[in-house]
Chains A and B, each alone.
Chain A
């Protein structure tokens, strides 16, 4: 859906749902995932509907993902770092442990 206009200057690799994603270090997870072709980022708690980023500036909260076991992370506000493990958030966050 998105293409990069320039080469990644400082690539980092992180994991999304078992796939390896290459990102520019420090860019938002949301941008990196959309560039990777991630489709949806989460399923809503109410109906399980698929959602993906809408605003990209931290306002809409539709880009919520789980990062390194921590749920409810706004992908558009989280900088990509090497070795992160990112998963789709399915429904509400499970605060007692992993989902």
Chain B
């Protein structure tokens, strides 16, 4: 029987950031092993993105749940187990800072505070890859996932002429969900590059052996082709036009240029890890050329290059919700092992099934990654006029100009153009900006690098920071800001 060293007062064993599949699964396992666990999540209810509003969804009944699909339903059971655990759950709480020695700056309903943890698990998942095409900043252009979010959380569906333009399993899932809700899109423009089919074909047989996902996806796609008025494949050169709002989509398919009217355009080119927290903590990251994204360097349990910091779920590399659950479980075992609550032998034993399931699904992942690798014009927007940094309205052409002036990467380009300095902190522009600079300079993405991510990584006012309370807070040296307008310096 292993004794766990008593934690210092005020220090939790395992702080988990994110209440999606990986975070929830890790919390359940860690609690079962007797660790003290705190889970921080910015949403009001657990589930992350994929299982968003699943508790409310359950109370809507079977027809609702079956419209959203089997995978969504699995979230309900996981959330139930989480609620039954002894995890200290802090919804409505954002993590705005992280230190390499287990400190987290959190901002919740009661204000900002600093907490200490012996281990931190970052389970902040993924976001849709931004799709920089001409006109993508117009109102009426959203990610496909945005509509899924509104469907799950608010029961909202488009009731207007909608075009989906993109590639990847989420395109077919979302279109299928919308059609089941009586809101099928007017057009689906499948941008999966034709050449990808040939490249992925050798991987298909093994992918189909690992489960029913491919069969299901193909069935949805076949069904869509029958239901949707306009279905084009091998689509390129997507552009959106409109006066103050999306009004039409132009594109090229089958060697012809076409344009269709619409009010809502939904874009999708896969998902990429949210790397802000792990990067801010100083964890080493590597460029994944197949998934075309940055991911933290982790061992097979999710440990990063920073001691005591782990990453699980899609934030460690895209693999989907079911595998996020497995990785959350494995990461919790690793944390327990590292904290002395579990022997290495026990950790291996309790993780055996999860690792086996990860191995079984690996061929599916390889197939999907190969088939749905975005076309080059999504990764490196060819038109100079295309906006790359939405916040500061910096175009691809401006980035090419500063590359020609000698900017090797995004940190330097930021100083010259403000690209990456807006409120989104390069979440939307980082990948494309680096890709434009890499191509212009004839360098690889790994050589070009990424923006230096600095806290605060979530919005926090100076007042909230100044009022920060808790373990490790700096000594009170008086107000940091003038406290009344009269004390403001003359402009």
Contacts and interface: CB of A to CB of B under 8 A. Distances in A.
B153 A27 contact: yes
B427 A49 contact: no
A59 B428 contact: yes
Given A46-B392, A52-B140, A57 B127 contact: yes
A6 B56 CA distance: 13
Nearest to B139: A52
B150 A57 contact: no
A34 B150 contact: yes
Interface in A39-90: 39-41, 44, 46-47, 49-62, 64, 72, 74, 76-77, 79
Contacts, number: 120
Interface residues of B, number: 48
B186 interface: no
B157 A2 contact: yes
A4 B154 contact: yes
B463 to A, nearest CB: 10
B146 interface: yes
B145 A5 contact: no
Given A1-B160, A61-B424, A53 B142 contact: yes
A66 B485 CA distance: 20
Given A2-B158, A31-B153, A40 B142 contact: no
Contacts of A91: none
A50 B392 CA distance: 13
A1 B393 contact: no
A74 B424 CA distance: 11
Contacts of A77: 42
B155 interface: yes
A40 B427 CA distance: 21
Contacts of B147: 56
A3 B156 contact: yes
A61 B422 contact: yes
Contacts of B46: none
B137 interface: yes
A79 B357 CA distance: 38
A74 B81 CA distance: 31
A3 to B, nearest CB: 4
B391 interface: yes
A41 B140 CA distance: 11
Interface in B237-267: 244-245, 263-264
Contacts of B181: 5
Contacts of B141: 54
Contacts of A44: 391, 393
A60 B428 contact: yes
Interface residues of A, number: 41
B127 A28 contact: no
B149 interface: yes
A55 to B, nearest CB: 5
B23 to A, nearest CB: 15
A44 B138 CA distance: 12
A91 B448 CA distance: 32
Contact of A54 (B60, B143, B154, B423): B143
Interface string A1-37: 1111110000000000000000010111001101100
B427 A51 contact: no
A1 B159 contact: yes
A70 B269 CA distance: 34
B392 A28 contact: no
B264 A26 contact: no
B400 to A, nearest CB: 19
A99 B366 CA distance: 51
Interface string B116-151: 000000000001101000001111111101110111
Contacts of B289: none
Interface in B417-445: 422-424, 427-428
Contacts of B160: 1-2
Given A1-B263, A44-B391, A56-B149, 4 more contacts: A1-B160, A39-B139, A49-B137, A57-B49
